[in-house]
Amino acid sequence: MTALRNKITAMVINGRWGGQALVCLYVSILSGIVLALQYNPAEPFYSSATLELVVPYGRFWRALHFYSSQGFFLLLLLHLIVILQQKGYIPPRTSWLRLMASLPIALLLLFTGYVLRGDATGEAAGAIAEHISLSIPILGKPLNQLLFDISAAGMRKVYVNHLIGLMAMGMLSLWPHLRKYQIRISHHLQGALLLLLVSLLMPAPMEPAKIGMTHIAGPWFFLGLQELLRFIPPFWAGVVAPSLVLSALFLYPKSIEHQRTTTYFIIIWCALYAALTLLSVIR
């Protein structure tokens, strides 16, 4: 067990997970620029569907953007998990808060990417997000107008936030950390080649709306929240529940004794969310 922990710690020191996440981020940005030049927020589903037909190698670019974005988020989570496993290492509070801010920003970037597809999954996710935003007392309406406002403005605000607003916020939170890290392509060549191979062989998903559909599953990371909405009101399911684990991460203590308690809380929260996700999948 000690040898395994030392090996994991060495991977963090060598930047294995963080470096792979960074490669995925760069690929996601570059492929996203290619898609953004062809995307029309006025016709989201038609625009997304025809990218594969009109744009040269459009199917590959869509898949590359989709899988690199998924990879970035998952590897970012792995990077965070390994850091928490080091027991005691916490950077200065300001740096820690800034780094933790990148997690919800990355989640929103991934989420708005699903919404922009304009398919059945994207429409359902966007409608739920608006409903949750509007359930927040006082700040709900301004927040919805800032981030989504799909019912009034279509995909225009989501598109601008995905392309500029959230990306700028994400880079602002990560840049002081990234500039200290020198990425070596040779260390991450296998991961980059795997990403390219997956994008060549597996198309990015699209789910057209079908007549008679009674249940539409949201993005995989959204399923637990979607299931929780069946049991409790939107504000508690979509705002309070996620805020609990985010607050635990933001306020992660420097004391090793308190770290243990906080870590147990995060593990229990994740286990419950995984159970809700599984329940949603088998429903």
Query: Helix, strand, or coil here: 68?
Result: helix
Report the number of distinct structural domains present in the chain. 2
Assess whether 190 and 225 both reside in one domain. no
* pLDDT tens digits, one per residue of 253-275: 877 777 888 889 999 999 999 99
Q: Which of 133, 114, 134 is nearest to 124 (CA)?
A: 114
Assess whether 193 and 225 both reside in one domain. no
Show which of 174, 204, 234 is a domain's final residue.
Answer: 204
Contact 122, 114 (CB under 8 A): yes
Assess whether 52 and 119 both reside in one domain. yes
Asked whether the predicted pLDDT for residue 50 surpasses 80, the reply is yes
Q: Distance (Å, rounded) from C-alpha 39 to C-alpha 11? A: 38
* CA quadruple 202, 105, 145, 213: dihedral sign: positive
CATH value at residue 125: 1.20.810.10
Show which of 149, 171, 204 is a domain's final residue.
Answer: 204
Q: Is residue 212 part of a domain?
A: no
Q: Return the structure tokens found at 156.
A: 């225009």
Amino acid identity for residue 187 in this structure: H
Read off the pTM. 0.87
Query: Residue 127: which residues within 8 A CB-CB, separation 6 or more?
Result: 150
Assess whether 151 and 235 both reside in one domain. no
Assess whether 172 and 193 both reside in one domain. yes
Assess whether 6 and 56 both reside in one domain. yes
Q: Which of 109, 91, 113 is nearest to 100 (CA)?
A: 91
Assess whether 69 and 158 both reside in one domain. yes
Q: Is residue 210 part of a domain?
A: no
Show which of 204, 231, 257 is a domain's final residue.
Answer: 204
Contact 261, 251 (CB under 8 A): no
Asked whether the predicted pLDDT for residue 88 surpasses 60, the reply is no
User: Domain containing 197: what range?
Assistant: 2-204
Asked whether the predicted pLDDT for residue 245 surpasses 50, the reply is yes
Q: Distance (Å, rounded) from C-alpha 35 to C-alpha 37? A: 5
Assess whether 175 and 221 both reside in one domain. no
Least confident among 32-36, 72-76, 80-84, 212-216: 212-216
Q: Distance (Å, rounded) from C-alpha 23 to C-alpha 204? A: 19
